[in-house]
Amino acid sequence: MINLKSHISLYGPEWAAIKQWLQEERELRLTSLLSAKTHEDSQRHRGAVEVIDKLLRVEKDAARAASN
């Protein structure tokens, strides 16, 4: 499994732009999840939110590792 935080800089403008996009996409997915009409649709949005949360945790994990 690739260690994402060892391959990208979490302190540059690229990560800031990606992070902002992920946060906006997460909000859109949560809104869509609340209005999902089918179980399949809600599962698709839940899956997307799960992946987004995993990506956003990379920064928190890196900060935690740096403080130890």
Number of other residues whose CB lies within 10 A of the CB of residue 54: 10
For residue 5, tell me if it sits in a domain.
no
Number of structural domains in the chain? 1
Q: What is the largest CA-CA distance in the chain?
A: 45
Rounded to two decimals, the pTM is 0.85
Domain that holds residue 25: 19-67
Domain assignment present for residue 42? The answer is yes
What pLDDT shows up at residue 6?
82
15-40 pLDDT, tens per residue? 999 999 999 999 999 999 999 999 99
Q: How far apart are CA 25 and CA 19, in angstroms?
A: 10
For 37-52, write each residue's pLDDT tens digit: 999 999 999 999 999 9
Q: Quick check: is 14 in a domain?
A: no
The pLDDT, as a whole number, for residue 62 is 81
Structural domain contains residue 50: yes
